[in-house]
Structure 1
Amino acid sequence: MRFIAYLLRRVLVLCCLITFLVGAEGFSQEHPNLILTKAGVEKIRAELGGIPIFDATLKQVKEEVDAEIAMGIHTPIPKDYSGGYTHERHKRNFIILQKAGVLFQILEDEKYAVYVRDMLFQYEAMYKDLPVHPKERSYARGKLFWQCLNDSNWLVYVSQAYDCVYDWFSKKERKKLEKNLFRPFADFISVGNPQFYNRVHNHSTWGNAAVGMIGLVMNDDELIERALYGIKDVKLDVNAKDNDGGFIQSKDKKAGFLANLDEPFSPDGYYTEGPYYQRYAMYPFLIFAEGLQNVRPELNIFAHKDSVLLKSVNALLNLSDKDGEFFPLNDGQKGMSYYSRELVTAVDIAYHFGGYNAELLSVAEKQDRVVLDDSGLSVALGLKENKAKPFPKKSILLSDGPEGNEGGVGIIRYGNEELSLVFKYAAQGLSHGHYDKLSFSLYDEGDEVLQDYGLARFVNIEQKGGGNYLKENKTWAKQTVAHNTVVQNMTSHFKGKYEIGSEHHSELFFSDISDPDFQVISAKEVNAYPGTSMHRTMAMIKDTDFERPFVLDVFKITSDSENQYDLPFYFMGQVMKTNFEYDTPTSLQAMGGDNGYQHLWLEGKGKPSGDNTKLSWLNQGHFYTLTTTADSSDELLFTRLGASDPEFNLRRDAAFMVRRKARNTVFVSVVEPHGHYSAVSEFAVNSNSSIAHLGLIYDDENYTGVAIEDKEGNTLIFIQSNTNGSSKAQHRLKIKDKEYQWTGPYYFKQ
């Protein structure tokens, strides 16, 4: 018995020793395990040559990386803003490093591992003595880049490269890299810059993912904990702001990757900063989640907050026009689309970890490339097996706020995106938000009809402010007058102050998108101007007496005092005609001195010729007419961007503005697409509006009624309840000699 007990003790000691050594040597987990797995690599190698989209992507990436290897390794001393040589070189390096690591795993060619090793050791040699970046604009300066955000980009990508070559390195090489490069790098962007790292913002998401991913590769529990939950016991100035004017510390002091999942995302997957920054943040959100799922599956990260990450991919795809370009809500650069590398990654990961949704395959098919990892292989196999189904972009309401109760964004679509209306009644959107409550934009087959300006920035173009935000982003793009919504007394919503705007959000009043021929959304905003309530209802209507669907816009304003209200429409195209006379000045003057008006030239001024005002224009071969109800005292203004802009930072966009002085008023408008023009045949078809008269037939505290009469004498009646948005409420209203009865918040009769 003693001998047996002795043997058992020896076995136990030996097991403990083996466990210790395995952990100490860093072999407690196999590599790769972040975006690629051992099993996944084997499957990829087995399938090569028979998975067309994967094979084509692999060929393209190999050619790209081989060209970089032939050029040699360049790691210049950092000195530039975005768009400058050193910035773009280090950015190019981290992208190529990630791709080289993947090629090493898939192709088993050591030249890629050698390239990764040699570049990493060049960074190791320089990083030890590297000061903070010489450019001082950022609230959190990096070392390789002018801001910690870009340093975090670097580490997110390089972590993947390191994972792919981890087992190829010697223990001595790993120790040197981790001691001199990776651990100091992770510490610098986190504990060294808590004002950047310990907050709820897309910047911090990148930081959290960077620290967490290198932690996963190094099997460093401290870094992983720091990534998930933020830095403990850190004190930040609650009034400090970042470069975009956003508070560095949230009121509840939450931080870390999980907080950035919980706070900015609504239960529908809408990201409060808007689709442009949702696209940017999707990469660290999903790539780190993929690593966590592979290495720490017990966290079940893709199920967090009712699978909000997977929902967010669907939400983001729905926030794009027919061409796949994201609606430029808040700060957003026009032209960014789901063809970006972030969305290729997002679609592939969502498909792989989200139950193989065949609708995502049709998006991947349009993207025409995949990620070279396990998720990309899944997509490639799905496409090879012809499993793709169309991704249906239908009308949708996306809530805003962590609980989904802070307004939102509504998208009304007719047909196959023949006409798309984007109606914003959301929260502020953190520091990237604009002061544009109840604004809208309109698209025709992917072309802008009435536009949202987006951001004032030329991203990564050094000649324009170092590729960063221009001052005009604050003086113009964020201001209310830059959007298709009401401006009171030439001042922006919430006085254009972030600390006020971030306290409030608009409220959805009612909606009904069940009938494709009549879809309606109604929302209210009561805090943008003290003492003033704004209520906007927008409907997309398809009627047999009209060639195409059109948009009805009812904007009701109630105030404690008389004000001047400006309602601009930023139309795209060439003016065809008006039904009113106007004067054009011989010299241009700015419309005001601040709140965005300093950037608007007044190009024309007129008065209504009757109780309806009409403006028609031509754009992309289609005619459009804006019909508005008019008061005799209205001013009708043609404006154009460009004033107070000596560096030509702003586009020279045009707008038509209705100006009205009143206490309480209702702006009723119809935006009507009609006809077409061919420059080849030189034929203009149906170039005139079909509306004979637009009338406000009833308005009081409880109800507002509108009549739309076409040229054939047919009349459409719309009546809304202003106080009861319930779908079950019963209403009775007499207008002139006719009584109307209905159930629900609105009445519509064709």
Structure 2
Amino acid sequence: MNNKGLTKLFLVASILCLSVMSQAQNHPGLILTKSGVEEIRTSLGSVPLFDQTLRDVKEEIDAEITTGIYTPIPKDYSGGYTHERHKRNFIVAQKAGVLFQILQDEKYAKYVRDMLFQYEAMYKDLPVHPQTRSYARGKLFWQCLNDSNWLVFMSQAYDTIYEWLSPNERQQLENNLFRPFADFISLENPQFYNRIHNHSTWGNAAVGMLGLVLDDEELIERALYGIENDGLEAGLKDNDGGFIKVEGQKAGFLANLEEPFSPDGYFTEGPYYQRYAMYPFLIFALAMHNKKPELAVLEHKNGVLMKAVTALLNLSDADGEFFLLNDAQKGMSYKSRELVTAVDIAYYYGGFNPQLLDVAKAQNQVTLDQAGLAVAKDLHSGKAHTFIKKSVNLSDGPDGNQGGVSVIRYGNEDLSLVFKYTAHGLSHGHYDKLSFSLFEHGNEVLQDYGLVRFVNIEQKGGGNYLKENNTWAKQTVAHNTLVQNETSHFNGDYATGSQYHSFLHFYNDDNENIQIVSAKETNAYPGTEFHRTMAMIKHHDFEKPFVLDLLKVSSKRKNQYDLPFYYLGQMIDTNFDYQSPQQLQALGKSNGYQHLYLEGKGSAADDNIQFTWLGNHRYYTLTSVVDQADELLLTRLGANDPKFNLRRDAGFMLRRKNTSNTVFASIIEPHGSYSPVTELSLNSNSNVDRINVVRDDKHYTAVDIKTVNGGQMLLIVANTDANDSKSHRIKISNKTYKWQGPFFLKVN
């Protein structure tokens, strides 16, 4: 080939190279895209919810611009001024960048630029944060987690003004701020970055988002696959951030997609932290979809992220508040900003499910991007269908074989039973195998405590977890499940608990008269197995379905068993006598018992006891089969709590001593009502006349239920063979019963 031909080839190659580089460096390109921005601009004024969201954001950011930019020297924990100011900065910067793209007003670009250069000026000489509580201290914040939050949002802000900045400005920001920031949270803090945990997901997404903006393959690889030689020793460590590393376990964003999510979309840490982690999971996956679609990150693991949004929505009550599984703050709901993003992305990229529009309508805002525009348009077009939450059984574990959680619902969430038989849940897990909680409409009937933390309230431990989270909330006695010998499951040991999970025996929601779930736990106490079956049963003698709770315990030795029920409301009546002490004392010395006051102690005169309380203007009665030697304990939280970090919640506890094998059989029944306006009390007495355990052995447990109106029910559970096709035949009180499947219900 002659020189002229070589020159022409070189020019063609150069043009192709420049074309590829131009395509790779197309900005904005993470969440907003150039084509998406054009579609948004042409739609303004015709899509009410999008227009209203845009007006609200513009008003918010205009006020921030008027106030000025503040980047104080970091010094505070969560809730303190410097923490909240830096947190506010990254949120408003991302929004300002979006406004610049949509409205084409340079004042928003200048605001983002000026803020970034203030950070650039301070970051070069910024030491690690002065507060030392975290296992991985940040620089702007007390922990690397929040520094990662900053970079996830600031990468988006940078993307929106990238082409508006000069090459020299970009070089200065990247060399002095962005690249050092990414290296700090990853290479300099592998104990934070190179793990399986929601913390690491934020770190991975932060590095990856920046890598996509800079078109830096090394940063993108580091985000997706973690740090290859991190210098960390394998082993479990229950610290603020959970376990550091497990032998042979991978790290990085894709590993965090693989490990914590089950194929059903359940996130092993629980819905509260799933809500928090959904933002980095979805926002980085979407950025990868826009910048590197060939890697199919958004579709990874059979589209588990889309499934995760639906699973998370199904783990909420009638008011949209998430159920309290593991560490969780009461009141967190799908109206949070993370779920606004999640719902919009899941709708636009996950198949345009019209039920998601119903959730978006309740959220009453959308994201200012292509997904949010699509949601707002289709809402305006009347395409929404009611989001119906039905009964659901969600598996846990990366392969779906590490237990799970069941939500049994009746009607329009008139009654919702949440039954937990999961794996531990990483560092946010609690020691509460086979625990449950109960809701009526959006109100708690029998509660899970949640976490002991006043999030972002500086006066309460800097807004961080308080010591009572370990001494109370994580302990078994804080939950509605079995406690043996006043000791928590797995002796409260994180490494041990992380090795095991409960097992589903069977689940069935096909019958309108009974929905039922049954699971076993064989490792919580050495030598002891407990098997819990919970059923929601509909019967004509009851206003609503009631919950039947069968807890079968088998042990190689005699033990003390405690079964607490934490009710919300005011005790109204009992059918047993009890005595209250003149001076309150703690029920025990450790494992959570040190935080329970003993307010009353009674014993049963009959083999059935009833305990009635009033909550949310409704009556509820617990009816239980008891032995005459059983102790009936009235408890109240708050002992050994000098700083009043714990709520003063009430509980009722069944205590059975010196027993190896036994069955706790109980009914939780909603009934009647009380109006404080009319002062009218209706149906305040239980409709249950008696429960009897009429058979209990290795193979079968059967209970007979009689109502005050003469109705009768018999439920038989097959304890060993849960095969749907298995035929059973047994005799009880000279009557023979035949059926197929793991349970049988006879109703009269």
TM-score of the superposed pair, with normalisation by structure 2: 0.99
Q: Is the 8 A contact 1:200 1:250 kept in 2?
A: no
SS of aligned partner of 1:301? coil
The answer to whether the Cα contact below 8 Å between 1:139 and 1:242 also exists between their aligned partners in 2 is no
Distance 1:245 1:630 in 2: 43
1:15 Cα shift?
Answer: 2.8
CA offsets, 1:341-398, max 9 Å, x none? 0000000001111111111111001000000011111111111111111112000000
Q: Which structure 2 residues correspond to residues 415-494 of structure 1 after superposition, within 5 A?
A: 415-494=411-490
Give the partner amino acid of 1:430: L
Q: 2:114 aligns with which of 99, 114, 118?
A: 118
**In structure 2, how many angstroms separate the alpha carbons of the residues matched to 1:23 and 1:401?**
41
Q: Which amino acid aligns with 1:186?
A: A
Q: Matched residue pairs, number?
A: 746
Deviation at 1:134, TM superposition (A): 0.6
Matched with 1:602 is 598
Q: Give the aligned residue type for 1:671.
A: I
- Conserved? CA contact 1:238–1:247, under 8 Å: no
> One-letter code of the match for 1:525?
E
Matches within 5 A, 1:437-586: 437-586=433-582
AA aligned opposite 2:535 = A
**8 A contact 2:557–2:660 mirrored in 1:** yes
Could you tell me which residue of structure 2 aligns to residue 278 of structure 1? Answer: 274
Name the SS of the counterpart of 2:162 in structure 1.
Answer: helix
Q: Deviations over 1:417-467 (max 9, x none)?
A: 000000000000011000000000000011000000000000110100100
Aligned position for 1:151: 147
Structure 1: give runs of 5+ residues left out of the alignment: none
Structure 1 residue 690 corresponds to structure 2 residue 687: yes
Q: Where in structure 2 are there 5+ consecutive unaligned residues?
A: none
| Counterpart in the other structure of 2:737 | 740
Aligned AA (2:326): N
Identity %: 66
Within 1, Cα distance between the matches of 2:506 and 2:469? Answer: 33
**What SS does the corresponding residue of 2:673 show, helix, strand or coil?**
strand
The answer (yes or no) to whether the contact 2:444–2:568 under 8 Å persists in 1 is yes
CA change 1:112–1:746 in 2 (3 A) is same
1:12 to 9, 12, 15: 9
Equivalent pair of 1:536/1:554 in contact (CA under 8 Å): yes
CA–CA distance in 1 between the matches of 2:108 and 2:513?
A: 57
Taking only aligned residues, the RMSD between alpha carbons, in angstroms, comes to 1.1
1:390 & 1:14 partners in 2: Cα distance? 59
- 1:240 CA displacement: 6.1
1:614 and 2:617 correspond: no
1:337-486 equivalences under 5 Å are 337-486=333-482
Q: Deviations over 1:687-729 (max 9, x none)?
A: 1000111111111111110011001221100001111111111
Q: Which among 240, 244, 249 is matched to residue 245 of structure 2?
A: 249
Cα offset, 1:517, TM superposition? 2.1
Shift of 1:210: 0.2
Residue pair 1:246, 1:498 contacting (<8 A) in 2 also? no
Compute the displacement of 1:21 (Å): 5.6
* Matching residue's letter, 1:335: G
Deviation at 1:511, TM superposition (A): 1.2
- Name the TM-score, length of structure 1 as normaliser: 0.98
Q: In 1, distance between residues paired with 2:432 and 2:24?
A: 53
Task: Answer yes or no: is the 8 Å Cα contact 1:699–1:705 preserved in 2.
Answer: yes
- Specify the SS of the correspondent of 2:299: helix
Q: Amino acid of the residue matched to residue 107 of structure 1?
A: L
Q: 1:192 aligns with which of 188, 195, 203?
A: 188
Amino acid at match of 1:319: L
Give the Cα–Cα distance (whole angstroms) in 1 for the partners of residues 257 and 512 of structure 2.
34
Match of 1:666 among 663, 666, 670: 663
CA displacement, residues 210-263 of structure 1 (integer Å, 9 cap, x when unaligned): 000011001011000100000112221224636337221123231000000000
Give the 3-state SS of the residue equivalent to 1:413 in structure 2.
strand
Matched, 1:97 2:112: no
- Name 1:218's counterpart in structure 2: 214
Moved more, 481-490 or 728-737: 728-737
- Pairwise mapping of residues 29-68 of structure 1 onto structure 2 (< 5 A)? 29-68=25-64
Q: Deviations over 1:50-108 (max 9, x none)?
A: 10110000000001001010000000000000000000000000000000000000000
The SS at the match of 2:644 is: coil
Which residues in structure 2 correspond to 1:174-193 (within 5 Å)?
174-193=170-189
Matched, 1:304 2:300: yes
The AA in structure 1 aligned to 2:529 is S
| Contact kept in structure 1, 2:49 and 2:364, CA below 8 Å | yes
Q: Which residue of structure 2 lines up, in the alignment, with residue 167 of structure 1?
A: 163
Which whole-Å CA distance do the structure 2 matches of 1:240 and 1:621 have between them? 47
Amino acid at match of 2:690: H
Q: 1:641 aligns with which of 629, 637, 659?
A: 637
